[in-house]
Structure 1
Amino acid sequence: MLISDQQKREEYYGAVKEKNSQYIGTFFLAVKTTGIFCIPTCRARTPKFENIEFYTQSKDALHNGFRPCKICKPTNNAYEPPADIKKAIELVNQNVFEKVSDYQLKQNGLQPEKIRRWFKKHHDMTFQAYQRMLRINSAFQELKKGKQVTDSAFNSGYNSLSGFGYTFKVLVGDSPKESKDKSVILISRVTSPLGPMFICATDKGICLVEFTDRKMLETEFRDLQKKLNAVILQGENEHSKACKKQLKEYFEGKRNSFQLNLDLPGSPFQHTVWEELQKIPFGTTTTYQQMALRINQETAVRAMANANGHNRVSIIVPCHRVIGKDGKLTGYGGGLQRKQWLLDHELKHKQA
């Protein structure tokens, strides 16, 4: 749909100038002078306001004769890893204990410099650091199962205990021996129409699902590690794999509820609120006042809002379905634009 509302157009143009990632998926900008369309964060030069049309879906821009930008590739999911990055990750996953060198990348037709740039931009770490994290993750799992530090070190590809111990402490925060009693939180990344998201999972279930540009995300990570007495390491388990699959189905309009195990550290009251959030039907909204009535705590509206704000599992624990009593959108950690998109998405597929 072409967006003609002037106030909305000005808001979207502000997002384009700021390259605001919270607007990814909520609109596409089409440039009349070049005939191309982009996502809000495209690094190409910002066009003049009078030369832009805004569309709610990429297919609308295509139907009106615009072609996808070759820089930001708007018809792909936001930040979908390109084929060469996927191939590099596959090489690592074939044997996480062996380092994939620049020479091996070149032997497989890959450019080491491009791989490094992509990992630095999207994971804030180098490709070699990513590999080290996976090796330490595997070593940590072995230590948890009772293996000796020496065995774990050499199995992980380290030639000396000192090198293994140093790297382990840098990534985990404690020495191998001191970390045996800690749990593991595995973190992985998933693409979505609204931008990339982090998924964190323990052995018990999903403990975090957040957009990667969420404010105070680092604080959430630290709080989660403290509450679960755990370390966060790169990787996946059956819970995170199931979460990725079900989120994909949700965004495709094929799923309106989630069947996932959750591991949510919090107070009894917070758990009551989070359970109540999960009872809000797909494609509907409610208010804090209505939720307070349902749990027989009419005066706990502010406390409910606070508990809602501490929800770490976006979409699956659907805090986006809570709106103000006046019908307007209230705060959302992922941004109000994403909240509106999610509500519109659910309403559309509920009706379908």
Structure 2
Amino acid sequence: MLYFLPNDDILYDALLKRDPQWDGRAYVTVRTTGIFCRLTCPARKPKRENCSFHDTVGACLEAGFRPCKRCHPMAAGGEVDPMVQTLLTQLEADTSRVWREADLSKMGFDPSTVRRSFKRRYGMTFLEMARHSRLRDSFDSLSEGARVIDAQQDAGFASASAFREAFARLLGLAPAAFSKQALLRADWIETPLGSMIAVCDASNLHLLEFVGRKALPGELKKLWQGANGSLGFGRFAPTDQIERELQAYFEGTDARFQTPLALHGSAFTKDVWRALRDIPAGQTRSYGALACDLGRPQATRAVARANGANQIAIVIPCHRVLGADGSLTGYGGGLWRKQRLIELERQYLG
């Protein structure tokens, strides 16, 4: 099925609540003002009888409505708050800086406002994002053969124990657990939706996850155990290939992924993952519809579990599965990413 809107009562309730899960997936047109908005628009809410709902910006424009100047519905993902942009620029300029709430206050920003803004937009706080950037620097240093103590200092960690703890919390393993010349190698890939970890062997991609996903530490540890500890830093040819394919995907030029995959799951789970890959970019399925596609209409919950067990994000597009009513459901990379991936893939509908 193509993406469909639920009934107007559900969408009007989402408008009143400014529910972010519908941002970029549904728009409201207001008859009395002649404008259309995101459902997260901060403006005063119109009466129910004056509202109509559409699934695309084009439909709103064709109906004769103008875009709202407060929520900017024609900007992909909404315009970036100047405060957010300022902090992102500062972070990009010095990824090793150790940020504290006092630093935000000195810049004239309210730490609680910063926390809410980043959490709403990126699914993590600014301080968490800064910590991930520092750990990324240490990851790069270790990949280049640096000693753990040097990587720790490059990342701005004064304490060796704090560095090991932060590294292990993010990746599930302490730095010393990664070996040289390993059969599996892990490296970072940057995307417009945040950093990802790719784990490959010489022939296949085994894992592709967003940094910060709760399941990532456990998934990496499981791969490490399966490879008898032969997991290291660096990349093989499949890492370069998936990085190129992700770039094309986010640029809107190609949604096909040809990188060979190593799938770790039961026969049924692998069937679900293959069915997910059969969903064209720009389309969605419900869990029930996917179960029917597999000839197992009573296996909706099993399909949902297999969907949640996917550890190769985007390539195996579990983000294309919605609730039966069209609502977003759980996504390991964060609902905000799921929402933006669905919005991004509209361009592939042709």
- Normalised by the length of structure 1, the TM-score is 0.62
Measure, in 2, the Cα distance between the counterparts of 1:8 and 1:219. 33
Match of 1:245 in 2: 247
Pairwise CA distance, 1:246: 3.6
Deviation at 1:49, TM superposition (A): 0.3
1:29 is aligned to: 28
Structure 2: segments with no counterpart, 5+ residues: 179-184, 226-238
Provide the aligned length of Structure 1 versus Structure 2: 311
Q: CA deviation at 1:29?
A: 0.7
SS of the equivalent of 1:173 reads helix
Q: Which residue of 1 aligns with 2:11?
A: 12
RMSD between aligned residues: 5.3
Cα distance 1:126–1:57, how it changes in 2: closer, same or farther (>3 A)? closer
Q: CA deviation at 1:120?
A: 4.6
1:194-249, Cα deviation, whole Å (9 max, x unpaired):
xxxx6633242584568x9xxxx96544543443459xxxxxx8677546534435
- Greater alpha carbon shift after TM alignment, 272-281 vs 27-36: 272-281
Give the residue type in structure 1 aligned to 2:222: K
Whole-angstrom distance in 2 between the partners of 1:26 and 1:76: 13
Structure 2 Cα separation of the partners of residues 48 and 280 of structure 1: 38
Cα 1:44/1:152, change in 2 over 3 Å? same
Q: Which structure would you say has the larger RCO, counting Cα contacts within 8 Å and 6 or more residues apart?
A: 2
CA drift of 1:141 comes to 3.9
Structure 1 residues 248 and 145 mapped into 2: Cα distance closer, same or farther (>3 Å)? closer
- Following superposition, the deviation at residue 169 of structure 1 comes to 1.5
Which SS does the other structure have where 1:71 is aligned? coil
Q: C-alpha separation between the residues in 2 aligned to 1:86 and 1:260?
A: 34
Distance 1:53 1:174 in 2: 44
Q: How does 1:332-347 map to 2 (within 5 A)?
A: 333=330
**Within 1, Cα distance between the matches of 2:102 and 2:298?**
65
Is 1:292–1:301's contact at 8 Å kept on the other side of the alignment? no
The 10-residue stretch of structure 1 (175-184 or 9-18) with the greater mean CA deviation from structure 2:
175-184
State the 1:102 CA deviation.
10
Relative to 1, partners in 2 of residues 1:20 and 1:260: Cα closer, same or farther, differing over 3 Å?
farther
Does the Cα contact within 8 Å between 2:172 and 2:217 map onto a contact in 1?
Answer: no
Q: Deviations over 1:28-82 (max 9, x none)?
A: 1122334432112223333220121223322333454533333322111125545
| Change over 3 Å in CA distance of 1:51–1:185 after alignment to 2 | farther
> Within 5 A, what are the aligned runs for 1:40-119?
40-79=39-78, 81-82=80-81, 85-86=84-85, 88-98=87-97, 112-113=109-110, 116-117=114-115, 118-119=117-118
Deviations 1:244-269 (CA, angstroms, capped at 9, x unpaired): 5344355xxx5452334656543455
1:165 corresponding residue in structure 2: 161
Amino acid of the structure 2 residue aligned with 1:172: A
TM-aligned CA distance change 1:264 to 1:16, over 3 Å: farther
Residue of structure 2 equivalent to 1:151: 150
User: Do the aligned partners of 2:277 and 2:317 also contact (CA within 8 Å) in 1?
Assistant: yes
Q: CA–CA distance in 1 between the matches of 2:123 and 2:320?
A: 32
The alignment status of 1:202 with 2:198, answered yes or no, reads yes
Match of 1:224 in 2: 219
Q: Structure 1 residue 111: deviation in Å?
A: 5.9
Q: Is the 8 A contact 2:34 2:64 kept in 1?
A: yes
Q: In structure 2, the residue corresponding to 1:147 is in which secondary structure? A: coil
Q: CA deviation at 1:123?
A: 4.0
Match of 1:181 among 166, 169, 177: 177
% same residue: 26
Q: CA deviation at 1:177?
A: 9.7
Is 2:242–2:259's contact at 8 Å kept on the other side of the alignment? no
Structure 1 alignment gaps of length 5 or more:
192-197, 231-236
Structure 1 residues 287-342: Cα deviation after superposition (integer angstroms, max 9, x where no partner): 5455459xxxx99998666534533556532457789xxx998996569xx89x96
Query: Which amino acid in structure 1 is aligned with residue 168 of structure 2?
Result: V
